[in-house]
A and B are shown apart, each in its own frame.
Chain A
Amino acid sequence: MRSTATAVALLVAMAGLALAPVAGAASSSSTLNELENEVMCPVCGTLLGLAESPQAQSEKAFIRRLIAAGKTKEQIKDALVAEYGDEVLALPPRSGFDLSAYLVPVIAFAIAAVALAIGVLRWRRQSEPADGRAAAADGPSSEDAERLEADLARYDL
């Protein structure tokens, strides 16, 4: 019972850790540095912050103009999606089929954690004797003891 509670607590903690990046992505302040790590350079196929191509420069200038115009991070991302499509987002949108990109890893992780917890519990049960007593260190059986004595006698110099 105590083991089950520990396993559940562990599972909840790990699921929380898995969801933390998703929750963090929901903040909405807007600076170029932040946005550069959340949107892509569509031509380069890398994060905008890592790109120096002419297209990336054009995209950065566009973002700077929107920041100067007082747009929020979400408004800027929406404007980028309107220009370049969903692929401009480093993280897929949290709606429709793309939501599976967030849910599938969490669900898979939860299933794996539950399977692990069940496996550990079964393993612990199997390692205990059926009558519930701790396994006693009784030493060798009489047959083994006789064979041991005989072997020792053979090597007795």
Chain B
Amino acid sequence: MSARAPIAVFAVLAVLGLLSYGLLSKGSSGVALGEPAPDSPLPRLSGEGTGSLAEYRGKWVLVNFWASWCIPCKEEAPALQELQRRHGGERFTVLGIDSRDLTDDGRAFVRRYGLTYPQLRDGDGDGAHEYGTTGVPENFLVDPQGKVRLALAGPATEEYLQRYVVPLLPRESS
């Protein structure tokens, strides 16, 4: 009995350890307003190397998670391109992140909607997981210090952009 007790304790601890590892490895995800935005590098959708939100430190960035198969993403794309056309430059950019999508489909989407802002690729969804998204599209406005100032789970309509995003952008960035 006494010889078996350590084995039983070890077995129980091993099972508990595995369960704990499983729970911890899921990790906490999601960003709260005012917290630093995740900036892990991702491949560029164009296929030319990698890019990261960190490259845009000092700029306001509207991080837009999208996918070519997502119908609301098609609806918001023209509004985002218009925002980029009007306000994109030294102080602001939209940063598209094509999430859980096929590369060719994503590139076709960019061509179809004439998107000129930078695009990253998040095929396995890890980038979206870091932001705690629950689907696409989702949008996060990140300030020049890299902190999340706005979060929107859903499409960024023209009305939303004009009402909540544009007032925060520096005027001289047009």
A58 at the interface (CB under 8 A from B): yes
Closest 8 A/B residue pairs (Cβ) = A85-B124, A54-B69, A58-B69, A55-B69, A42-B100, A83-B123, A84-B123, A83-B102
The 8 sampled A-B contact pairs (Cβ below 8 Å) are A54-B71, A55-B100, A58-B69, A58-B102, A58-B105, A82-B123, A85-B124, A86-B124
Give how many B residues have a beta carbon under 8 Å from the other chain's beta carbons: 15
Asked whether, in the complex, the Cβ of A87 is within 8 Å of the Cβ of B105, the reply is no
Interface residues of A, count at CB 8 A: 14
Query: Is B39 located at the chain interface by the 8 A CB criterion?
Result: no
Chain B nearest Cβ from A82, distance in angstroms? 8
Q: Does B12 contact A (CB under 8 A)?
A: no
Taking Cβ atoms with an 8 Å cutoff, the residues of A that contact B are 42-43, 54-55, 57-59, 62, 82-87
Give which listed residue, B69, B71, B124, contacts A87 with CB less than 8 A. Answer: B124
How many A-B contacts if CB must be within 8 Å? 36
Q: How far is the CA of A21 from the CA of B100 in the complex (A)?
A: 29
Q: Check if A84 sits within 8 Å of B69, measured CB to CB.
A: no
CB neighbours of A58 from chain B (8 A): 68-69, 101-102, 105
Shortest A110–chain B CB gap in Å is 16
Contact yes or no, A57 B123, CB < 8 A: no
Interface residues of B in 36-75 (CB under 8 A from A): 67-71
Q: Which chain A positions have C-beta within 8 A of B69?
A: 54-55, 57-58
- Complex CA–CA separation, A73 to B6 (angstroms): 48
Partner of B124, one of A55, A57, A84: A84
CB distance from B67 to the nearest CB of A (A): 7
Which residues of chain A come closer than 8 Å to B123, judged between CB atoms?
Answer: 82-85
Distance in angstroms from B91 CB to nearest chain A CB is: 34
Rounded to whole angstroms, the CA-CA distance of A92 and B51 in the bound complex is 28
Pair A84/B100 contact, Cβ less than 8 Å: yes
A86 to B70, CA, bound (A): 22
When distances are taken between beta carbons in the complex, the residues of chain B under 8 Å from A87 are: 124-125
CA distance A62 to B100 in the complex (A): 13
By the criterion CB–CB under 8 Å, are A43 and B102 in contact?
no
Q: Per-position contact with A for B88-100: 1 when CB-CB < 8 Å, else 0?
A: 0000000000001
Asked whether A42 lies within 8 Å of B125 as measured between CB atoms, the reply is yes
Chain B min CB distance to A15 (Å): 21
List chain A residues, Cβ under 8 A from B105.
Answer: 58
Q: What 1/0 flags go to B119-145 for Cβ under 8 Å of A?
A: 000011110000000010000000000
